[in-house]
Structure 1
Amino acid sequence: GATLLLLGTKEEVPVEPVEKPKFIEDMNESELATALELPAGLVNLGNTCYMNATLQCLHSVRELRNALKSYKEEQAGAASGMASMALPQLLTGSMKKLFEDMERSDTITPVLFLQRLHVAFPNFAQTGENASYRQQDANECWSELLKVLQQTLPSQKGTDEKSIKHSSFIDQWFGGTFDVEMKCTEAEGEPTSKSKENFLQLSCFISTEVKYMHSGLRLRLKEQLTKMSPTLARDAVYTKSSLISRLPAYLTVQFVRFQYKGKEGINAKVLKDIKFPIEFDAFELCTPALQEKLTPMREKFQAVHNADVERALKGKNKSKAELEKEKPKTAAQPFCFEDDLGSNNSGYYTLQAVLTHQGRSSSSGHYVGWVRQKD
Structure 2
Amino acid sequence: MPNITVKWGKEKLSVDVDINESPLVFKSQLFALTSVPPDRQKIVVKGKTLSDSSWNGITLAPGTMIMMMGSAEAVLEAPKAETNENSSTIQTPDGSEIRLVRGIKNLGNTCYMNSVIQSFLNIKEVGSALESYSAKSRSSISDEITLALKHLNGELRSSSLTTAVAPLNMLQNLHRAMPQFSERSNSGSFEQQDANECYVELQRLCLKGLKDSGINIEKFFKGKFIISQKCLEDDSEPEQTTSEDFFQLSCFLSAQVKYLQSGIKEKLTEEITKNSTTLSRDAKWSKKALIERLPAYLSIQMVRFFYKESSKTSAKILKDVKFPMSLDMYDMCSPSLQAKLRPQREAIKLEEDAKVEQMRRIKVDEKSKVVENEDYDELPFSFPEDEGSNNSGFYELQAVITHKGRASNGGHYVAWIKVENKWVVCDDEEVQVVTPEQVLNLSGGGDWHTAYVLVYGPRIVRKYHDMSDSENTPIAEPNAMSID
Normalising by structure 1, we get a TM-score of 0.83
What does the per-residue CA deviation read over 1:39-89, in whole Å, with 9 as the maximum and x for residues that have no partner? Answer: 11100111100000000000111111111122222x144xxxxxxx52111
Identity %: 41
Sort the Cα spacing of 1:355 and 1:322 in 2 relative to 1 into closer, same or farther, 3 A. farther
Sort the Cα spacing of 1:273 and 1:119 in 2 relative to 1 into closer, same or farther, 3 A. same
Question: In angstroms, what is the RMSD of aligned CA positions?
Answer: 2.4
SS at 1:108 equivalent? coil
**Are positions 1:169 and 2:217 aligned together?**
yes
Instruction: Say whether the 8 Å CA contact 2:233–2:283 is kept in structure 1.
Output: yes
SS at 2:298 equivalent? coil
**Are positions 1:181 and 2:235 aligned together?**
no
1:18-37 alignment runs, 5 A limit:
30=85, 34-36=89-91, 37=99
Give 1:25 shift: 9.0
- AA aligned opposite 1:128: S
Give 1:196 shift: 0.4
Query: Which structure is higher in RCO with an 8 Å CA cutoff and minimum separation 6?
Result: 1
What does the per-residue CA deviation read over 1:267-300, in whole Å, with 9 as the maximum and x for residues that have no partner? Answer: 2110101101101111111111111111111111
Instruction: Say whether the 8 Å CA contact 2:315–2:407 is kept in structure 1.
Output: yes
Q: Does 311-320 or 62-71 show the bigger shift?
A: 311-320
Sort the Cα spacing of 1:156 and 1:236 in 2 relative to 1 into closer, same or farther, 3 A. farther
**Are positions 1:103 and 2:149 aligned together?**
no
Normalising by structure 2, we get a TM-score of 0.65
Show the counterpart of 2:268.
221
- AA aligned opposite 1:283: Y
Structure 2: gaps spanning 5 or more residues: 1-78, 92-98, 422-484
Answer 1 or 2: which has greater helix percent: 1
In 2, Cα distance between equivalents of 1:234 and 1:368: 49
Instruction: Say whether the 8 Å CA contact 1:76–1:152 is kept in structure 2.
Output: no
In 2, Cα distance between equivalents of 1:193 and 1:364: 43
- AA aligned opposite 2:285: Y
In 1, Cα distance between equivalents of 2:363 and 2:145: 56
Q: Does 34-43 or 116-125 show the bigger shift?
A: 34-43
Sort the Cα spacing of 1:251 and 1:130 in 2 relative to 1 into closer, same or farther, 3 A. same
Match of 2:116 among 54, 60, 77: 54
In 2, Cα distance between equivalents of 1:292 and 1:55: 36
**Are positions 1:142 and 2:196 aligned together?**
no
What does the per-residue CA deviation read over 1:323-348, in whole Å, with 9 as the maximum and x for residues that have no partner? Answer: 5x243622210111111111111111
In 1, Cα distance between equivalents of 2:316 and 2:133: 38
Give the count of matched residue pairs. 333
What does the per-residue CA deviation read over 1:301-333, in whole Å, with 9 as the maximum and x for residues that have no partner? Answer: 11111112122233324569955x243622210
1:1-375 alignment runs, 5 A limit:
30=85, 34-36=89-91, 37-73=99-135, 75-77=136-138, 86-104=140-158, 105-106=161-162, 107-154=164-211, 168-170=216-218, 172-317=219-364, 325-327=371-373, 329-375=375-421
In 1, Cα distance between equivalents of 2:382 and 2:213: 13
Instruction: Say whether the 8 Å CA contact 2:83–2:90 is kept in structure 1.
Output: no
Answer 1 or 2: which has greater strand percent: 2
In 2, Cα distance between equivalents of 1:308 and 1:212: 28
What does the per-residue CA deviation read over 1:140-175, in whole Å, with 9 as the maximum and x for residues that have no partner? Answer: 001111221232122999xxxxxxxxx9422x1111
Instruction: Say whether the 8 Å CA contact 1:280–1:349 is kept in structure 2.
Output: yes
- AA aligned opposite 1:67: A
What does the per-residue CA deviation read over 1:329-372, in whole Å, with 9 as the maximum and x for residues that have no partner? Answer: 22210111111111111111110000111011101100001001
